[in-house]
Amino acid sequence: MAPKNTTRPGGREPVRAALNLRLNALAVVTGVVAGVGAALFRSLIAFFHNLLFLGRLDLHYDALAHTDASPWGAGIIAVPVIGAVAVAFLVKTFAPEAKGHGVPEVMHAIYYERGVIRPQVALIKSLASSISIGSGGAIGREGPIIQIGAAFGSMVGRVVRVPEWEQLALIACGAAGGIAATFNTPIGGLLFAVELMLVEVSARTLVPVMIATGTATFLGRLFFGNAPSFTIPPLDLAEVSMAPASTWVAYVVLGLSMGVIATLFTRSIYAFEDLFDRIPGNYYTRHVLGMALVGVIMYALMARYGHYYVEGVGYAGIQDILDGAAPAASVLLLLVGLKLLATSLTLGSGASGGVFSPALFLGAGFGAAFAAAFGSVFPGVQVDVTSAAVIGMACMIGASTGAATTAVVMIFEMTRDYNVIIPLILAVPLAFTVRRLLMSDTIYTLKLSRRGQTIPASIQSNLYMMKSALELIETPFAELPASADLERARELCRDPARVPHVVLVADGGALAGVIPASVLVEACRQRARTTPLSSLADRGFIVAENESSVLEVMAQLRSEASDNVVIVADSGADEAHEVLGVITAEDLLRSTNLPSALVMTRRTQREPST
């Protein structure tokens, strides 16, 4: 007898409600860990900082106050070196993912690892970053806290065995909770997740992220108080709407200038990575060299100006600027240059720490120096130094990270002055635009782009997925016989700007395989000239009609475990000359905002069929 059908209209709603309740409960847990983790992480930084700099066991550390002169004197140069040895051991031995500034690794996990972050990353990142910062590395604590919270969210999702979209949401919960707790900026934390972490923006993903950020912020306030990260005096912005045109011109110039500084900041970090990679030796010797140079900079600054300035998160120097106690504009510019150098040395040589705090320092320092210089050149222009420093911080964060909305809202939450919004929404987009004109990648995505990993630049609506797949086709494509070798294809690679999107391999007129541009270029660099093209070709391509939608093509790629789809006018066509175009999995990833696990099957990472 057939089973009785008990399904009734609305019968799925209780199940969906239960699943949402589960996700929200997991978001609370993740938020608790993010808030408590932020407190523990700060305590670890304090422990290592006080031990290594001052030789005492103490968990109290006020980042807004300058560190006292170390009793070690010139021996302070050795402190970052000691930290470098410990960090290199932890990272190399237990978790290579803990190296660097954290957020790119989280993005990699979201888009390329189905949201899987190894549990040990949270522990090793905590230890390595706290040692790096505590020993004087010119880096921030926000990136590590983001990675720590994200790692816990990933672990919770895998333990409970939630669907992939829920696990990705939990990663965003951990990241948003971490940044909300450390800065006391719940809305900023939420927007950070929206702009950089979430692959889907909807009620079902936003609600848990809001719960996590609220929970983490509440716990952060229990540990750190309700004060923002910086004590910012009332800004001279209340009458900004009535300010003369010259003041607005100054804000425009400041925003444009910060876009250039943000680009320089991003380029510098990765240029130093390349520089250290070329230095003979190993991870230990390179990191020790980089941190020894940072130690020299710290010692020189203490000897000349009475403060270490570039060490650690650098909040004390920022607070001086906001309090109006900053040194002269020329000295500020020197400090900006040395902080940029120290951060590049720290991260380029292999430290573990974030870029958020250095970006704030650069923004505040350059903004204040700009205001002082602008006022000297144009005495009649009203540009407040503190206001310019605040605007500079927001511009630097928005331009370098790509999270422009987050930057505006976070600075608003820090100042708690609504009037700051007006100049920010003018200057931050300008800084963001200049950086986009100079380089398309952000400080986070450039690390992944250098690995050949594409991160979508926008979140697409479901309507986009119903568009014709023909719109994704990139031209030109070339056709070569299967009997040809790589020597014949080398002519196509001579000019990087003219490399065809794909090469069709034809055998007697019939389509025998597809070679994407990335595979062809790599082969031209590393394979012998006599390598037959047939050995490089992907023979597992699928064929789709030209009326197929983006969603249908993506479904075919997944169901057939393929990485390339050939578009033809007639599904029965099998001749190379009948091909209208080829869409690769990379095309779909670049054009949609879906995790790579849903788009890319990575067949091309295996040996091609022959």
How far apart (Å, rounded) are the C-alpha atoms in residues 395 and 261? Answer: 10
Look at residue 243 in the predicted model and tell me its pLDDT: 67
Hey, what CATH class is 462-605 in? alpha beta
Please indicate whether residue 384 or residue 398 has the higher confidence score (pLDDT): 398
Q: What percent of the chain has pLDDT over 70?
A: 86
b/e per residue, 361-378, with b = 16+ CB within 10 A?
Answer: bbbbbbbbbbbbebbeee
Please name which of 108, 206, 2 lies closest in space to residue 597, comparing C-alpha atoms. Answer: 108
How far apart (Å, rounded) are the C-alpha atoms in residues 193 and 401? Answer: 12
pLDDT digits (tens, 9 = 90+) for 89-115: 999 999 888 888 888 899 888 888 888
Chain centre to alpha carbon of residue 507: 44
Please indicate whether residue 564 or residue 442 has the higher confidence score (pLDDT): 442
Q: Please determine, for residue 506, whether its predicted confidence score (pLDDT) is greater than 90.
A: no
Q: Please determine, for residue 207, whether its predicted confidence score (pLDDT) is greater than 90.
A: yes
How far apart (Å, rounded) are the C-alpha atoms in residues 408 and 429? Answer: 10
Structure-token pair, residue 359: 């970006």
Using pLDDT thresholds of 50, 70 and 90, give the confidence band for residue 610. very low
CB of 325 closer than 8 Å to CB of 318: no
Please name which of 49, 45, 111, 101 lies closest in space to residue 76, comparing C-alpha atoms. Answer: 49
CB of 429 closer than 8 Å to CB of 257: no
H/E stretch holding 255:
helix 245-278
Structure-token pair, residue 89: 């051991």
Using pLDDT thresholds of 50, 70 and 90, give the confidence band for residue 323. confident
H/E stretch holding 575:
none
How far apart (Å, rounded) are the C-alpha atoms in residues 81 and 210? Answer: 41
Q: At what angle do helices 315-322 and 385-401 cross, to 10 degrees?
A: 140
Q: Do domains 18-224 and 462-605 have the same CATH topology?
A: no
Please indicate whether residue 592 or residue 310 has the higher confidence score (pLDDT): 310
pTM strictly above 0.75: yes
Q: What is the mean pLDDT of residues 360-376?
A: 92
Q: Tell me which of 13-17, 206-210, 562-566 is least confident.
A: 13-17
Q: Tell me which of 57-61, 219-223, 465-469 is least confident.
A: 465-469
pLDDT digits (tens, 9 = 90+) for 147-187: 889 999 999 999 998 888 889 999 999 999 999 998 888 99
Please indicate whether residue 101 or residue 304 has the higher confidence score (pLDDT): 304
In the chain, where the domains are located: 18-224, 240-281+293-449, 462-605
DSSP designation for 457: S
What does CATH list as the number for 18-224?
A: 1.10.3080.10
Q: Which fold has domain 240-281+293-449?
A: Clc chloride channel (1.10.3080)
Please name which of 400, 411, 333 lies closest in space to residue 368, comparing C-alpha atoms. Answer: 333
What backbone torsions phi and psi does residue 544 show, to the nearest 5 degrees?
Answer: -135, 150
Instruction: Assign 564 to helix, strand or coil.
Output: strand
Please indicate whether residue 105 or residue 14 has the higher confidence score (pLDDT): 105
Task: Give me the chain's average pLDDT, please.
Answer: 84
The single residue listed with the structure tokens 């782009």 is: 449
Q: Please determine, for residue 231, whether its predicted confidence score (pLDDT) is greater than 80.
A: no
Please name which of 148, 146, 170, 140 lies closest in space to residue 158, comparing C-alpha atoms. Answer: 170
How far apart (Å, rounded) are the C-alpha atoms in residues 448 and 351? Answer: 18
Q: Tell me which of 31-35, 314-318, 437-441, 506-510 is least confident.
A: 506-510
pLDDT digits (tens, 9 = 90+) for 563-591: 788 888 766 666 777 788 788 777 776 66
Interacting residues of 29 by C-beta distance below 8 A, sequence separation 6+: 156
Look at residue 569 in the predicted model and tell me its pLDDT: 76
Please name which of 503, 495, 496 lies closest in space to residue 479, comparing C-alpha atoms. Answer: 503
